Structure 1
Amino acid sequence: MHSINENDFSKIDLNLVIVLLVMFEVRSVTLAANRLYLGQPAVSAALKRLREMFGDALFVRTSQGMTPTPRAEQLVQQFTPLIQDLHRVIFTPKAFDAQHDSRTFRIGMSDWLEQWLMPDLLSELALTAPKIDIKVVAADPWQAIPLMEQQQADVVVTVGDEASRDLTREKIARAGFRTLWSAQQIAVKKLTLDAFVRHDHALVSYRGASESALDRELQQQGKARHVRYVTLHFSGLPLLLKQLPLFATVPQGLVDPWREHYDLQAAPVPVKMPDYELSLLWHNAQHDDPANRWLRDRLRGLLLTKAR
């Protein structure tokens, strides 16, 4: 494949090629002007420039009209498929067909969102988009912005409200927290504030902190809890709760599956906790991409359904 020399095209007007093709079809300056919504002088000027460009008369006036030269016939034969392809590229962007297209999407999210969302998303895709694969990229709320600015994911599902001029954040739904424990480890039927602070806690902190907004609320009430275990991941908590007398306060999306699979107890947090807001985050460069829009639609619908 030959490299393109941009300087070769600096003085070329694509409209001249259109004039050439129309002239070849109608064989008349007057008819070409009408077809192109131009004046006859403009078409005549375009023909002059075409003749200079190709060093050929291109069209000769005869009793049958403007008869093309062999060079004009050759040019029309070469230009026609090129212009048709160009028209298709400009005016018919490639659609995304989820049912038949093969594609791997990179979705950024933290581990609890993966546990909560991915089983349902993959089940849906198995039926409606069998050639679509998903790759999850680790993205806690602090990683989400730089991850998307570098376009290392197609979409991020996240919480928080950090912004970037390169990105679009769409807030989808709000949800809260619940506290979980094992009845075999902590004999509590109704979770009170006193019971809450009497036992140890496990805390998920993406930055390794030993306190959270929950602890600040406790302090305002003159209370404190003891955080015995801090981890970066939610996934290890259920088995930990089964074996140790610990409370864990987690996003409510995890509550039902953890109660079902691990026989855990759940109750509202006995202090006021701010809700978290679920968002989709994507790079502005992908805003109008049909495949990215399709993926965002799937995730938006899933979040709205799961957060109810």
Structure 2
Amino acid sequence: MFTIRENDFHRIDLNLLTVLLVLYREGSVSRAAEKLHLGQPAVSNALARLRDMFDDPLFVRTAAGMTPTPRAETLVAALGPMMEQMQQVLFQPPSFTPATATHVFRLGMSDWVERWLMPELQACLSRDAPGITLQVSASDPFRDSEQLLQREFDLAISVGQSTAATLRREKITSLQFCTLWHPEQLPLETPLTVNDYVGNDHALVSYRGSTWSAIDEQLALQGLSRRVRYVTPYFSSLPAMLKRIPVLATVPAGLAADWVAHYGLRCSPVPVETPEIAVSLLWHKSSDKDLPLTWLRTVLSRVIKALP
């Protein structure tokens, strides 16, 4: 926290400090007035106020012009760099150079989004922005808005729907669901039939521990139901489980290629209607003009749209 005494600044006018610096540089009231686009009386009046403010003549008229006093020399040496820095902060547009930036981003996402997205994103950043660090926090569709509002992370890759008034949501892509199993455990053909689907046990991912989902609602409309033997809030444990026990798992289709390639699973469209998975970026409105985060949103959008 900055420790400043506000009352000390009540009698300070930054325009006077500008006059001080220009007078020092030009050594002449008339030339300073010309540079400042002011009349000579205005500059003379400013100098009088500066003398009163610092209780020092500051400049003495000599044959060589306006000669600074030791007090003026000290002030200019201290104030000059400060005023230059203030000018850069106030008037130069901020910049962000990914190739040389050393920035830390806090991202929120579920474990399946991390598995689906992060290998490609991290490869992209390692190549184009090697100084960037990503810190991933676990989230889910029911919590990511709340976590953003509490500033637990800077940006969420969200599959939720709710958006608080102070947040922004940008849909990037949509995914479908698919059903996977291991052929050594379940010798099923593709595409799965509804009878195959309800005739075998299921592992279900639920962030709230429920054994019922939108798929069960669709099955119920047909007078059908399935047996859920295992419920977990995590997708990461499912591939190894499918290799060991005869169950089906219905997951976002973005995981299918990786799971089929690395775990020898089989994949089929879900034989009942399922909702789409809307993948969005979610961030706080106060970060709309944050250059590093704007850059990251652009990179994320490009990478997500290119993923299977």
TM normalised by structure 2 equals 0.90
> Which piece of structure 1 moves more, 2-11 or 273-282?
2-11
Aligned to 2:233: 232
Distance 1:209 1:17 in 2: 67
Mapping 1:127-206, distance limit 5 Å: 127-189=127-189, 190-206=191-207
Equivalent position SS for 2:267: strand
Aligned to 2:108: 108
> Which ranges of structure 2 fall in alignment gaps of 5 or more residues?
none
Equivalent position SS for 1:202: strand
Aligned to 1:299: 300
Q: Which amino acid aligns with 1:211?
A: W
Q: Which amino acid aligns with 1:31?
A: R
Equivalent position SS for 2:49: helix
Distance 2:82 2:237 in 1: 59
> Which piece of structure 1 moves more, 22-31 or 296-305?
22-31
Aligned to 1:72: 72
Aligned residues between the structures = 306
- Cα gap change, 1:243 to 1:71, in 2 (>3 Å): closer
> Which ranges of structure 1 fall in alignment gaps of 5 or more residues?
none
Distance 2:134 2:60 in 1: 62
Q: Which amino acid aligns with 2:255?
A: L
**1:243 positional shift:** 2.2
Aligned to 2:219: 218
Deviation string 1:204-240 (CA, Å, 9 cap, x unpaired) is: 0000111111111222222222222111111111122
Equivalent position SS for 2:158: strand
Answering whether residue 18 of structure 2 is matched by residue 31 of structure 1, we say no
- Cα gap change, 1:67 to 1:134, in 2 (>3 Å): closer
Distance 1:186 1:128 in 2: 44
**1:37 positional shift:** 2.7
- Cα gap change, 1:209 to 1:40, in 2 (>3 Å): same
Answer whether contact 2:21 2:76 (CA < 8 A) is retained.
yes
Aligned to 1:10: 10
**1:170 positional shift:** 1.7
Deviation string 1:227-258 (CA, Å, 9 cap, x unpaired) is: 22111111111122222222211101001111
Q: Which amino acid aligns with 2:195?
A: D
Q: Which amino acid aligns with 1:16?
A: L
Answer whether contact 2:142 2:160 (CA < 8 A) is retained.
no
> Which piece of structure 1 moves more, 55-64 or 153-162?
55-64
Equivalent position SS for 2:134: strand
- Cα gap change, 1:133 to 1:199, in 2 (>3 Å): same
Deviation string 1:251-287 (CA, Å, 9 cap, x unpaired) is: 0100111111111111111111111111112233433
Deviation string 1:182-216 (CA, Å, 9 cap, x unpaired) is: 22222321311122112121110000111111111
Distance 2:41 2:145 in 1: 57
**1:159 positional shift:** 0.7
Distance 2:262 2:5 in 1: 64
Distance 1:94 1:27 in 2: 34
Answering whether residue 242 of structure 2 is matched by residue 241 of structure 1, we say yes
**1:105 positional shift:** 2.7
Equivalent position SS for 1:87: helix
TM normalised by structure 1 equals 0.90
Answering whether residue 272 of structure 2 is matched by residue 264 of structure 1, we say no
